[in-house]
Amino acid sequence: MKIRTQLAIACFLLAILPLGAIVFYSYHSSKRALQMAYHQEAVRATRQMNGRLARIRTELEQRLADASALPIQQDPTKVLVALGDAASLVDSVEIQPLPTAALAPVARTAPVVSVAPIAPVAPAAPAAKVAAKDADAAAGGDADADADADTGEDAEVAEATKPIVIDIPAIPNIPRFRLSDEQRAKIQELSRLGMQLGTQWQSMSAEQREELKKTMQQKQQELDQSMKFAQADFEAKIDAAEKKQEQRRAESEARREEIRARNETRREALREKQEREREQREAAKLTPKTSIQQQIVVRRAYTAAEKEKLRQDEKRVGLFFGQKFNVPMRKEGAVVAQLSAQVKPEEVIRRILGASNDEDGDVPFAVDREDNLYTRTPEDREKLDRLGLIRAFEEHRPLPKVENWVIATSFDKQSELRVGVARPVGENLEELRRTAAWNFGAGIALLFVALIGIVPIANHITRDVQLVTAGAERIAHGDLMTRLPVRSKRSEFGQLAAAFNRMAEDLSHQQQRIVEQERVAVEYERKSVELEEARRFQLSMLPKELPRVPGLEVAVFTQTATEVGGDYYDFRVGPDGVLSMAVGDATGHGAKAGTMVTVIKTLFSGYDGTQSPAVFLGDAAEKIKRMELGRMAMSLLLARFDGLRATIAAAGMPPAFVHRVATGSVEEVAQESTPLGTLGTEYHDRTIDLAQGDTVLLLTDGFPELQAPNGQQIGYSAACEEFARAARAGNAQGVIDALAAASHQWHGDLPPNDDITFVVVRMT
């Protein structure tokens, strides 16, 4: 195929591909924007459902807390005072009194606090009675004489601990009641005093207990007085609500009567219906009307059917909220009863999902942690089934991506309840597809018109291509001296010929550079091999294993800044169990530092521990000077450990640190001296006494002078503090690990600016 034909086809393809890409991008970007807008609205709806769930949970918790502070055991009708407008969510309230024997503060060190429901239990006999019966039996008395009396008293206790069930009537528009901040503060103060009475009962004197009880009684009276005014105001609101409700019923009855009178002449069937309604009204007039508070039913227990329904409802409510609504009721610090609310699950799910709106087509749903699905209507459930969401929930799979639908979900962490919204977007997407298809067809038609003018332009462009092709073939065969004639510098092919000639010249120079780079690479590889051999030689100079001396635990760490470092450490154990160790730092890095380490290694190999460290350093300094090693020098610290006594001499080394386990302090052992190979030759010993658990750190200057990425150094003060924290480890290796971690934390993954070496000795 000729180049001009290829060029024409390429131009056509390069035109149609961007057109298709633009149309495709326009369609999908608009689709994503539309879906994103719908998705954001769906997410907002799920957040609103989660917010409703949280508000219902908080409202019920607060309402029950208010109820526990009111005397509803003496007057159960006051439960409406506490529940207020949350009463429509509650089916009934149960008060489970606790056995009297469990309420005495003397019997326990802390007041009973329970958040789980307490099932009715048969009360145990009071401890005093059991003790009295045992005493009678031991004395040979007739224990059965008081059986009847005990049975009667036990029956009274059992009757007192029976639960109290308060059925909440379904009454709309109940006034809202809330405790004031002052009342809540008084309740908290009573709870605090009750806790104090329960926890400190045995340790308090009789006078202190009486004084605390009087204080609690006074606080309780103040709270009762405050609650009386609040309750009176609430009851007035209830009366007003009852009157308003009665007025509405009267108005509604009057309207119905008017309608019936207007339609009386229409049909006989209507008159019969009116007659039946009149009979019902007459029957209703014979029944006395009850107030809101009189509609509250108080009883002692649930029926078997109610218990089964209650169990199922509690399970469903627990799946909705992730908790049960139980609060303890206290008196003088002790829990006297357990207050629990039986919430209506249908009302809860109705409020969470919200009211139905058929215009937008949204399908809200909720799924609990047992994969039970809840919808507003059976029709919504059928829609979710057609979308495949129900099967995904049952099989624990991710929600599928449904064409023309946007699905958003939200998750409640406490109850693990998932709420979601499925929203249809099909009609808008179909309109987008039609618009994109029309735009693409119009663009293709314009491209075919433009194709007619591409062919002559391609013939004109490709007439000099053969000349460039021949020159490229000669270059490919290795003739880098090939050059093309430049006919015109103004035309693009003239510029191409000039660029071709520059390329040929550059290739010639590049070939020469490649040869030179290969030579440099060989030289670099040779030096790398030499450095690796030097590094291995230096590592061979260090001890292969740590010394094992009774009463001492030794650990080391070293990190070099280059391939061949200048830090050095070594150990010698004398025949009498005396441990001698050397820690040094040679000047610089690389091969020179390795040479100095070799010299010190040779000198230290002849040290038997009988000489003092200062004598050894002076002798080593004289020998290094006689070697005439130039400007090479070596800082060295020599320490000899004999039992719990250490003798240290240093030649230009950082101070040694001693951590005293008894006080937790760090002692610095510093000696002013010059490195080996310099002017000085006089060194001094310093002896320190150690105790079991003390830790000694010998180090080079690499750690105190370690630089962070910003150039800041650790410093000796910070190094001492890091050692104080590290010395709390359980063994010497733990101290090393902590110091190594501190070093890495300071400079990160960058190589250190100097060699780092730690030697840790712990007295065991």
What residue spans of 328-375 are helical by DSSP H? 345-353
pLDDT greater than 90 at residue 552? yes
E strands along 305-437, which residues? Answer: 326-331, 334-343, 363-367, 373-375, 405-411, 418-424
Tokens of 706: 């370690």
Residue 363 Cα distances to 211, 356, 360, 366, 408, angstroms: 63, 9, 9, 10, 11
Average pLDDT over every residue of 374-392: 87
Domain match, 407 and 273 both: no
Ramachandran angles phi, psi of 712, nearest 5°: -80, 140
* Confidence at residue 120, expressed as pLDDT on a 0 to 100 scale: 33
Domain match, 458 and 489 both: no
* Confidence at residue 532, expressed as pLDDT on a 0 to 100 scale: 62
Average pLDDT over every residue of 161-189: 70
H/E stretch holding 666 reads: strand 666-669
What predicted TM-score, i.e. pTM, was given to this entire model?
A: 0.44
Within its chain, how far is the Cα of 33 from the centroid?
32
What residue spans of 650-731 are helical by DSSP H? 716-726
Domain match, 457 and 581 both: no
Q: What is the rounded distance in angstroms from the CA atom of residue 627 to the CA atom of residue 58?
A: 87
The residue among 445, 463, 481 that closes a domain is 463
The residue among 473, 507, 541 that closes a domain is 541
Is the distance from CB of 87 to CB of 66 less than 8 angstroms?
Answer: no
Domain presence at residue 582:
yes
Domain presence at residue 150:
no
Domain match, 345 and 378 both: no
Using a pLDDT cut of 70, give the percent of the chain over it: 70
Average pLDDT over every residue of 123-133: 35
Domain match, 415 and 500 both: no
Q: What is the rounded distance in angstroms from the CA atom of residue 293 to the CA atom of residue 236?
A: 12
Q: For 491-506, give one letter per residue: b (16+ CB within 10 A) or e.
A: eebbebbeebbeebee
Q: State whether residue 647 is helix, strand or coil.
A: strand
Domain match, 105 and 163 both: yes
Domain match, 314 and 425 both: no
Domain presence at residue 58:
no
Amino acid identity at 527: K
Of 160-164, 259-263, 406-410, highest mean pLDDT: 406-410
Average pLDDT over every residue of 396-400: 84
Higher pLDDT among residues 358 and 573, named by residue? 573
pLDDT greater than 80 at residue 616? yes
Higher pLDDT among residues 632 and 294, named by residue? 632
Average pLDDT over every residue of 163-181: 67
Instruction: Please name the residue that has the structure tokens 């130039």.
Output: 630
Close Cβ partners of 370 (under 8 Å, ≥ 6 residues apart) = 319
Which range, of 215-224, 279-288, 367-376, 743-752, averages the lowest pLDDT?
A: 279-288
Domain presence at residue 153:
no
Of 157-161, 281-285, 532-536, highest mean pLDDT: 532-536
502: left (phi over 0), alpha (psi -120 to 50) or beta: alpha
Q: What is the rounded distance in angstroms from the CA atom of residue 727 to the CA atom of residue 695?
A: 7
Count the neighbouring beta carbons within 10 Å of the beta carbon of residue 282.
Answer: 9
Domain presence at residue 52:
no
In the chain, how many domains are there? 4
Residue-wise pLDDT tens digits, 433-481: 777 777 777 777 776 666 676 666 666 666 666 677 777 777 777 776 7
* Confidence at residue 286, expressed as pLDDT on a 0 to 100 scale: 41
* Confidence at residue 276, expressed as pLDDT on a 0 to 100 scale: 66
Q: Which of 62, 64, 68, 71 is nearest to 224 (CA)?
A: 71
Is the distance from CB of 636 to CB of 679 less than 8 angstroms?
Answer: no
Domain presence at residue 278:
yes
Of 103-107, 180-184, 277-281, 718-722, highest mean pLDDT: 718-722
Average pLDDT over every residue of 295-304: 66
Which range, of 310-319, 583-592, 596-605, 727-736, averages the lowest pLDDT?
A: 583-592
pLDDT greater than 90 at residue 255? no
pLDDT greater than 60 at residue 563? no
* Confidence at residue 333, expressed as pLDDT on a 0 to 100 scale: 53
Domain match, 602 and 659 both: yes
Domain match, 404 and 549 both: no
Handedness of CA 673, 677, 678, 680 (dihedral sign): positive
* Confidence at residue 146, expressed as pLDDT on a 0 to 100 scale: 43
Confidence of residue 119 (pLDDT cuts 50, 70, 90): very low
* Confidence at residue 319, expressed as pLDDT on a 0 to 100 scale: 83
Domain match, 666 and 703 both: yes
Close Cβ partners of 241 (under 8 Å, ≥ 6 residues apart) = 173, 174, 175, 292
* Confidence at residue 751, expressed as pLDDT on a 0 to 100 scale: 77
Q: Which of 744, 747, 749 is nearest to 711 (CA)?
A: 747
Residue 66 Cα distances to 95, 187, 298, angstroms: 14, 10, 19
Is the distance from CB of 321 to CB of 92 less than 8 angstroms?
Answer: no
* Confidence at residue 669, expressed as pLDDT on a 0 to 100 scale: 94
Higher pLDDT among residues 268 and 551, named by residue? 551
* Confidence at residue 462, expressed as pLDDT on a 0 to 100 scale: 64
Residue-wise pLDDT tens digits, 366-377: 998 888 888 988
Instruction: Please name the residue that has the structure tokens 């249809």.
Output: 424
Domain presence at residue 53:
no
Range of the domain at 224: 69-122+158-285+293-353
Q: Average pLDDT of the chain?
A: 76
Higher pLDDT among residues 582 and 111, named by residue? 582
Higher pLDDT among residues 600 and 429, named by residue? 600
Confidence of residue 698 (pLDDT cuts 50, 70, 90): very high
Domain presence at residue 144:
no
Domain match, 233 and 311 both: yes
Is the distance from CB of 164 to CB of 300 less than 8 angstroms?
Answer: yes
Average pLDDT over every residue of 280-297: 51
Average pLDDT over every residue of 736-747: 91
Q: Which of 572, 538, 578 is nearest to 558 (CA)?
A: 538
* Confidence at residue 749, expressed as pLDDT on a 0 to 100 scale: 78
Domain match, 342 and 363 both: no
Residue-wise pLDDT tens digits, 90-109: 888 888 887 653 444 433 33
The residue among 506, 541, 576 that closes a domain is 541
Average pLDDT over every residue of 630-641: 90
